[in-house]
Amino acid sequence: MGAPSGHWTTSSVVPAKCQQILTIQQENWREEWKEFDFGRFQRQNDFYSGVWNKIELSLSDDDLTAVLICIGAATNVESVYLSACHRLTGRGLIPLSGSTALRRIDISLVSRYHCFGTDVECSLELGEILPVLESILLIGNGLRHIQFPKKWRDAKHEGLSHFIARYNDMLEMTDRKCCQCFVPASPAIHEGGDRYGVQTATCYKCLKDFCHNDDGNCESEPVLLGVCKGRDTSGCLAVRRLSVRDAATAVAIVAAIRVPMNMKSESLELGVNFVN
């Protein structure tokens, strides 16, 4: 198997756990690692005993750094997720500094089994991660979606607010069109209120943008929830993190999302979070 990137020099450079992670790569590793979820390596299956057991790995920021360097993350990885990586401080994300490839980063730490807004243990430090994100903005990268931890959004730290303002300024300068009516789109992260730190008007999964028009050309659900219903995708049904205020709204949302008959049920990961 070939080396995952030019940074790979000798096996002794990378911890054993990271080598185990990197062995899953195929020849087309660049395609395979465009979406990188470090959390999926926290648990691995043990088939030695002939029983389906889960082995939890204690992966650290150093492990994350080693893997990101080896796969050339700054130029290859377009989406990064830290699902259920509760022990990380964020220091391991340094190899993403100045990334020219990153389009989406989800550091909410929410796993696929929880819905957006769930309180989860969070050790991520603003001081470790914001400089990385700032460096990406400075080079004019096409970063399109950021998911922050609930702990950060609740705290409303001044440093985070300044970053959100700069990120929104960057989004305003881009020429983005609504995927449904083709008027200028309006993606942004909320800078105040109950939805502080939450990005809207961009689909979480496919990253298509929406406008705020409510004149019949666009449906209101995508603007609020990020549910892509573009014709060419037959509905982007990978949305798993919705925030609604009551059960009736939740029922209406689920009814409004049209699932094609030939789509497997496991393709839909839908979590509903009730907010006050």
pLDDT tens track for 123-180: 999 999 999 999 999 988 789 999 999 999 999 999 999 999 999 999 988 888 888 7
Do strands 199-200 and 242-244 pair parallel, antiparallel, or not at all (unpaired)? unpaired
Q: What is the mean pLDDT of residues 80-94?
A: 95
pLDDT at position 23 is 54
How far is Cα 59 from Cα 68, in angstroms, rounded to an integer? 13
pLDDT at position 176 is 83
Q: What is the mean pLDDT of residues 195-204?
A: 89
pLDDT at position 136 is 96
Report which of residues 135 and 223 the model is more confident about: 135
Question: Percent of the chain, pLDDT > 90?
Answer: 39
Q: What is the mean pLDDT of residues 236-263?
A: 41
| pLDDT at 53 > cutoff 70 | no
Least confident of 21-35, 58-72, 101-115: 21-35
What pLDDT band is residue 117 in, cutting at 50, 70 and 90? low
The residue assigned the tokens 């009551």 is 246
8: three-class secondary structure by DSSP: coil
pLDDT at position 195 is 92
- For 9, 23, 44, 100, 147, the CA distances from 29, given in Å and listed in that order, are 17, 11, 20, 18, 25
Q: Which two tokens stand for residue 83?
A: 């699902």
Report which of residues 7 and 38 the model is more confident about: 38
| pLDDT at 76 > cutoff 60 | yes
pLDDT at position 211 is 79
**10 Å Cβ neighbour count for 175?**
6
Question: Percent of the chain, pLDDT > 70?
Answer: 58
Least confident of 10-14, 37-41, 162-166: 10-14
The number of CA neighbours under 13 Å toward the Cβ of 53 is 9
Give the residue extent of every domain in the chain: 1-174
What are the helix (H) ranges across 139-198?
A: 150-155, 158-173
Least confident of 19-23, 31-35, 104-108: 19-23
Report which of residues 185 and 242 the model is more confident about: 185
Average pLDDT of the chain?
72
What pLDDT band is residue 112 in, cutting at 50, 70 and 90? low
| pLDDT at 96 > cutoff 90 | yes
What pLDDT band is residue 260 in, cutting at 50, 70 and 90? very low
